[in-house]
């Protein structure tokens, strides 16, 4: 089947959608009429379970194998989407890890490398694999799930909430993701594709041993807004529920 000849509705792909904020983004997108949501997950059992749970709620959801640290996996996912639908309307780069809480002076290159493999390189490889499909959509939308912790402006403000926060590997990976967001938005500014970064706020998930104060569904809200922006909406921005976040 190919969407160039058939109307397949809206096709949305969410990386790391088997749990946490990504699952709630998938659920929210899938709740919109005519939307098929593709659950990108590296583990077959977890991916299928999420798709099945959403399907039981009436969502059109399918599991797609994806490990963002493996560019071959991203390309295979894109090939499958091409064969099934011929295009992609929404890409949400949500998969992310936080593996160390160390201060900069105690952070190893290995921790940096592992974090960047997922949070930075994974986004570039998945986005590049999906771009040809997004270009075929009438209004492509890319949402990168960043964090307020990636804001250099907030981190460098002695009066700000994150002056004392270290987390070098995670925070710097999200700062890099912010530049990635702006860079893609600039390259694609003449196209129909909008690229924005979302800050979900501090949500209770496995990533932070459920310390967060917001629910994953609350965290998903800003990503859902950015994934469904109208044609006159922003591109190259960084937003939370309250509006723009300083870079």
Residues 143-172 that bind ligand NDP (CB under 6 A): 145, 147
Shortest distance in whole angstroms from residue 67 CB to ligand NDP: 4
Angle (deg, nearest 10), helices 20-30 and 216-227: 50
Exactly one of 19, 23, 116, 174 is catalytic; name it.
174
**Of 5-13, 17-25, 31-39, 76-84, which segment contacts ligand NDP by CB under 6 A?**
17-25
**Neighbouring residues of 116: CB distance < 8 A, sequence distance ≥ 6:** 169, 173, 176
Segment interacting with ligand NDP (CB under 6 A) among 38-46, 132-140, 153-161, 225-233: 38-46
Alpha carbons 76 and 74: distance in angstroms, whole number: 5
Among 11, 26, 54, 66, binds ligand NDP (CB under 6 A): 66
When asked if residue 46 is in the footprint of ligand NDP (CB under 6 A), the reply is: yes
116 is catalytic: no
Minimal distance, residue 1 CB to ligand NDP, in Å: 26
Question: Which is nearest to 86 in space by CA: 188, 4, 180?
Answer: 4
The beta-strand segments (E) located in the chain are 10-15, 35-41, 60-65, 90-93, 141-145, 194-198, 238-240, 243-244
CB distance 66 to 73 below 8 Å: yes
- 69 touches ligand NDP by CB under 6 A: yes
Question: Which of 3/78 has CB closer to ligand NDP?
Answer: 78
**Is 202 a residue of the active site?**
no
Residue in 170, 186, 194, 202 annotated catalytic: 170
Least distance in angstroms from the C-beta of 144 to ligand NDP: 9
- The reply to whether 180 sits near ligand NDP by the rule CB under 6 A is no
**Residue 127 interacts with ligand NDP (CB under 6 A)?**
no
In order, the DSSP letters of 31-78 are: TSTTEEEEEEESSHHHHHHHHHHHHHTT-EEEEEE--TT-HHHHHHHH
Query: Which of residues 22, 28, 86, 140 is near ligand NDP by CB under 6 A?
Result: 22
Binding status of residue 28 toward ligand NDP by CB under 6 A: no
Q: Which is nearer to ligand NDP, 46 or 136 (CB)?
A: 46
Residue 198 and residue 222 in contact, taking contact as beta carbons nearer than 8 Å = yes
Are 66 and 40 within 8 A, CB to CB? Answer: yes
Distance CA 26, CA 31 (A): 8
> CA-to-CA distance for 79 and 203, rounded, in angstroms?
33
Contact 133, 78 (CB under 8 A): yes
Residues known to be catalytic? 170, 174
What residue ranges bind ligand NDP (CB under 6 A)? 15-16, 18-22, 42-43, 46, 66-69, 94-97, 118, 145, 147, 200, 202-203, 205-208, 212, 216
């Amino acid at each position: 089947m190919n969407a160039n000849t058939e109307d397949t509705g809206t096709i949305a792909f969410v990386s790391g959608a088997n749990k946490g904020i990504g699952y709630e983004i998938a659920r929210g997108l899938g709740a919109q009429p005519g939307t098929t949501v593709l659950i990108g997950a590296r583990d077959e059992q977890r991916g299928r379970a999420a798709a099945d749970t959403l399907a039981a709620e009436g969502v059109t959801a399918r599991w797609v194998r994806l490990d963002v640290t493996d560019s071959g996996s991203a390309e295979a996912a894109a090939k499958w989407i091409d064969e099934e639908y011929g295009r992609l309307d929404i890409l949400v780069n949500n998969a992310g890890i936080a593996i160390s809480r160390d201060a900069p002076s105690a952070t190893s290159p290995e921790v940096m490398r592992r974090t960047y493999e997922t949070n930075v390189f994974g986004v570039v490889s998945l986005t590049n694999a999906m771009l040809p499909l997004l270009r075929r959509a009438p209004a492509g939308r890319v949402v990168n799930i960043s964090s307020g912790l990636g804001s250099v402006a907030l981190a460098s403000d002695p009066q700000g909430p994150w002056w004392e926060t270290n987390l070098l590997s995670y925070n710097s990976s999200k700062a890099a993701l912010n530049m990635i967001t702006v860079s893609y938005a600039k390259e694609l500014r003449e196209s129909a594709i909008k690229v924005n970064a979302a800050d979900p706020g501090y949500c209770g998930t496995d990533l932070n041993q459920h310390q967060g104060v917001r629910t994953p569904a609350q965290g998903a809200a800003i990503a859902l807004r950015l994934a469904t922006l109208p044609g006159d909406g922003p591109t190259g921005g960084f937003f939370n529920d309250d509006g723009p976040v300083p870079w």
